[in-house]
Amino acid sequence: MFNGLNNIKEIDLSLFDFSLVTNMSYMFNDCYNLEKINIGKINTSSVMDMRYLFMNCKKLTSIDLSYFDTHSVINMTSIFGHCETLTSIDASSFNTSKVEMIYDLFAYCFSLVSVDISCFDTSKVTNMQGLFYVCTSLKYVDLQNFDISSVVNLRYLFTYCSSLVYLNLKNFKIINFENVTLYKTFSEISPNVKYCIEDSGTKNFLIGNAISNCSDIYFQDNIQLNKCTFNKHEFINESNLCHENSYQIWKNEIICVNAIPENYYFDNNDNIYKECYYTCKKCNISGNEINNNCDECIDNYTFINESLALSNNCFIKCEFYYYFNENNEYTCTISDICPTNYNKIIKQKNKCIDDCKNDNIFNYEYNNSCLKECPTNAKIFGDEKLCLEECYENQFEYNNNCYNDCPTNTFRLFINRNVCVNALPENYYLDNTDNIYKECYNICKKCNTSGNEENNNCDECISNYIFIKDSSVPSKNCYLKCEHYYYLDENNKYFCTNNSSCPYEYPKLIEEKKKCVKELIIKDTSNNVFYEEDSSLPEMYLSSFIIGKNLDFENLLDDVQNIPNHEKNETEEIKYYDKVLEIIGNYFTNENYNLLKIENGEEELITLDKMIITLTTTQNQKNNTNSNMTIINLGECEN
C-alpha cells in the first residue's frame, strides 16, 4: 500500500477500515523517512500475513501496537526488520497462537533496548532464525514462556546482541538437537550476560552466568523483572504477575502491557483491568448493549448524557439528526428536516426535540433552534425563553424584552411598534381610542391629535419650521421656513419667494411675519382696534375705511410710521389720530375717489386690490367737503 514511498514522513490510518484485509505484507516496507504513523484502533482481526510490515522504516522511533489483533496471523517474518531507531517494542498484546514464522522478526533493530514478547505463544512456530539478530542495544529479553517444541531453525537467534544483560529462558528446551539448526544461536553476545534456564542440555550452548533459581525476582539497572507464569487460557485472580512497570489486563486472556489502553477500566472485584463495552472510548464500569455505561464514545458514535438514555450513553452517529421518540427510543431522521412532533433543533447536539425548554442547557428557542441564550439582536418574551426578532403585534417591547403589557410606571408608546418607555417624549399625544401614546406628525414639536401632510395639527413646530395659525387652513400650522419671505396663494398653498422681494401678485410685505400679501387688512372693533396681518401699520383707533386709487401708498405708510410715539391716553390718541389724517390728506389729488363708509363698531375685512385709507365717518365728511368723492354702501364696493 505504501511500499517504497521513501519520502513520506507521516501516515494517518485512524479512519481506515481494515476489517476485511487478510494480507498486510510489505505495507510500509522501505518507507525510509517515515517518522510517525497513527494506526488508531486498527482492526486487523482478519490479517494472516504480516511479513515485512514495517521493514526498513529506518527513522520510525515508536509504534503503538496496542490495538493489533493478531489471532489470525500465520507469518510474522521480519515485521520490524531494520527499524534502526526503534528503542522499545510492546508486543504484549499479540496473540500468536497461529504464528509459524517469526524469522528475523526484530533483526537489525540497532537501537532496541527492550521488547516485551514474554507472553508470546510459540507452540506452532517452526522458524526463529535471526529473531534478535544484530540487536546491539538490547539488554533484557524474557522468553520464559517460549515453547520451542516445533522449532527447527534457531540460527543467529541472539547473534551480535552485544549488550545483553539478562535472558529468561526458563522453559527454553530443545527436545531433539539433531533436528534443530543451532548455528551461532548465541554467538557474539555479551560474556557477562545472566541467564535463567532449567534445561541442562540447552544450557550447554549458552555462555555467561547461569542463575540457579529461575523463580527469583531480578533487578538490573533499576528495572525489576518478574515472571509471567500464568495460565493464559483460564482466568485467574492473583496479584499482578507482570513487570513492575507494566499492567495486567484481561483481553480474552491475561496480558501484560506497559500502558493501560484508553478503553479499559479497573475491576476492583477481580483486581484486573477489563475492556469497556466496544462503543466506549472511556468508561469506569462494565457495559452491554442495553447499558453501555460509557464516559466517552469511540469515533462514529455520539455521547448522549440524558435521563432518557439512562446508562446507554453511546449511540451510532446519525447522518442528519436524532431524537427520542414517544417510547424513548433513539431514532435518526431520514433527512435534514426534523419530524413534525420534534421540530426544534439543537444543532450542537444534532438533536431534534419537541420543546427547547425540555433541554437543560439549550433551552432558549429562536427560529426553531434551541440555544443557550438568545442572540444579541433578539428579544426575549418574558419567562417563555422565546427569542424573537421582533415582538408580536399586540406585545410591547421594553429593555429588549417583549411583554403583553407595559410594566408599572412606564408609558405605552407606539413607534412603528408598541414599546414601553420610562419618560414620555415631547412630540407624542395620547390616543384615547387605543389608550396609547402616538407620535405627532413629523414636523410637530407638540400636538394633541394625529396629523398628516395636509393637516398636521401641530401646536408647536420643530426647528426650521414656522408656525402659522391661519383661519383659511385651520389644521395645517407648520411650514418649512423660507430663506426670504412666504405667501399663501389663492388656494391657500404655502410658497417661498425666490429672493428678498415679494412677487407682483402679493406685493405687500408684513415684515414681522416675513409674509407677502396681496392687500393689507385691518380689523376694527368698537373699543379694541387691532390689525391681523398688516404689521407695517402702527396700532391706532379706527372706525371706518375709505377706498381710493392712484395713491403713492408706500410713501404714505412711511410717513405714518415716522410719527413719534405717543402716550396711550385719550388726549394723545386724538392728537395722533389727527396727525395721521393730516398726512393722509396730503396724498389726495383732484382725481375722483370712491369712499366706503362703515358704521362704528362693525368688524369687517376689506380686500385691497385698491389702496386703503382710513378715516372716521366724521373726518371723512369733514376732509372731503371740497373734494369730488362719493360715499357708497359696502355692498356696492368692488372686491
Beta bridge partners of 635: none
**Nearest in space to 72 (alpha carbons), one of 47, 105, 41, 43:** 47
Query: Looking at the DSSP assignment, which residues form a beta bridge with residue 38?
Result: 12
- 10 Å CB burial of residue 510 (0-12, 13-18, 19+) is buried
- Relative to beta strand 194-196, strand 209-211 is parallel
- Tell me the pLDDT band of 540, cut-offs 50, 70 and 90: very low
The pLDDT tens digits for 471-525 are 566 677 888 899 999 988 888 888 999 999 999 889 888 887 888 888 765 544 3
The residue among 32, 38, 39 whose CA lies nearest residue 4 is 32
pLDDT the model gives residue 83: 95
Nearest-Å Rg of the Cα atoms of the chain is 56
Q: Give the burial class of 464: count Cβ atoms within 10 A of its Cβ; 0-12 exposed, 13-18 middle, 19 or more buried.
A: exposed
The count of other CB atoms within 10 Å of the CB of residue 245 is: 9
Asked whether residue 31 carries a pLDDT value surpassing 80, the answer given is yes
Average pLDDT, the chain: 76
Mean pLDDT lowest among 60-64, 531-535, 583-587: 531-535
Range 150-176 average pLDDT? 85
pLDDT of residue 595: 33
| DSSP-based three-state secondary structure for 301 | strand
CB 47, CB 41: distance < 8 Å: no
Residue boundaries of the structural domains of the chain: 1-229, 234-275, 390-439, 519-639
The pLDDT value recorded for residue 210 is: 58
CA–CA gap between residue 79 and residue 442 (Å, rounded):
88
| Amino acid, single-letter form, for residue 518 | K
253 CB neighbour count, 10 Å cutoff? 16
pLDDT of residue 72: 93
Structure confidence by residue, pLDDT tens digits, 226-244: 333 333 322 233 344 565 6
Mean pLDDT lowest among 366-380, 551-565, 623-637: 623-637
Q: How far apart are CA 306 and CA 351, in angstroms?
A: 12
The CA-CA-CA angle for residues 158, 72, 176, to 5°, reads: 40
Helix (H, G, I), strand (E, B) or coil at 600: coil
Q: What is the pLDDT of residue 635?
A: 28
Rounded Cα distance, 69 and 47, in Å: 8
* Per-residue model confidence (pLDDT) at position 50: 95
C-alpha–C-alpha distance, residues 602 and 523, integer Å: 9
Name the DSSP letter for residue 427: T
Which residue is listed with cell 507494566? 246
Lowest mean pLDDT among 248-252, 404-408, 529-533: 529-533
pLDDT the model gives residue 52? 95
CB 491 within 8 A of CB 505: no
pLDDT of 139 reads 86
Q: pLDDT band for position 57 (50/70/90)?
A: very high
Quick check: 551 pLDDT over 80?
A: no
Q: For 561-616, how does the pLDDT look when each residue is reduced to its tens digit (9 = 90+)?
A: 777 766 656 677 667 767 776 776 665 543 333 333 333 334 333 333 333 344 33
Whether the predicted pLDDT of 42 surpasses 90: no
Residue pair 105/80 in contact (Cβ under 8 Å)? The answer is: yes
pTM of the model: 0.38
Question: CA 293: distance to chain centroid?
Answer: 32
SS3 state at 317: coil
256: Cβ contacts below 8 Å, ≥ 6 apart: 92, 116, 118, 119, 228, 241, 242, 243, 246, 247, 248, 249
Secondary structure element (H or E) that encloses residue 599, with its range: none
**Cβ proximity of 162 and 133 under 8 Å:** no
| % of the chain residues with pLDDT over 90 | 30
For residues 277 and 296, give the distance between their C-alpha atoms in angstroms, rounded to a whole number: 11
One-letter amino acid at 217 equals I
| Average pLDDT estimate for 245-254 | 72
Q: How confident is the model at residue 546 (pLDDT cuts 50, 70, 90)?
A: very low
pLDDT surpasses 90 at 19: no
Please tell me the predicted confidence (pLDDT) of residue 308.
56
**pLDDT the model gives residue 240:** 45
Question: Per residue in 78-126, pLDDT tens?
Answer: 999 999 999 988 888 888 999 999 999 999 999 998 888 877 899 999 9
Asked if pLDDT for residue 303 goes beyond 70, the answer is yes
HEC string of 465-528 equals: EEECCECCECCCCEEECCCCCEEECCCCCEEECCCCCCCCCCCEEEHHHCEEECCCCEECCCCC
pLDDT at position 482 is 92
State the sign of the Cα–Cα–Cα–Cα dihedral 10, 16, 19, 24. Answer: negative
H or E element at residue 15: none
How far apart CA 207 and CA 135 sit, in angstroms, is 17
Q: Crossing angle, helix 553-561 and helix 570-586, to 10 degrees?
A: 150
Whole-number pLDDT of residue 491: 81
CB–CB of 484/474 below 8 Å? no
* pLDDT value at residue 594: 33
Q: Which of 282, 333, 326, 327 is nearest to 305 (CA)?
A: 282
Looking at residue 84, its amino acid is E
Residue, of 206 and 88, whose pLDDT is higher = 88
Q: How far apart are CA 247 and CA 598, in angstroms?
A: 128
d(CA 144, CA 166): 12
- DSSP character at residue 357: G
pLDDT of 101 reads 95
- Residue 1's pLDDT band (boundaries 50, 70, 90)? confident
Asked whether the predicted pLDDT for residue 213 surpasses 60, the reply is: no
Torsion of CA 257, 262, 264, 267, to 10 degrees: 90
- pLDDT, one tens digit per residue, over 334-360 is 999 999 999 999 998 889 999 998 888
Instruction: Answer yes or no: are the C-beta atoms of 119 and 232 closer than 8 Å.
Output: yes
Q: 183 falls in which pLDDT band (50, 70, 90)?
A: confident
* Closest alpha carbon to 345 in 325, 323, 318: 323
The residue-averaged pLDDT of 193-208 equals 66
d(CA 172, CA 145): 8
CATH for 390-439? Answer: 2.10.220.10
pLDDT of 399? 87
Which of 41-55, 111-125, 165-179 has the least mean pLDDT?
A: 165-179
- Per the DSSP assignment, residues forming a β-bridge with 345 are 352, 369
pLDDT surpassing 90 at residue 32: yes
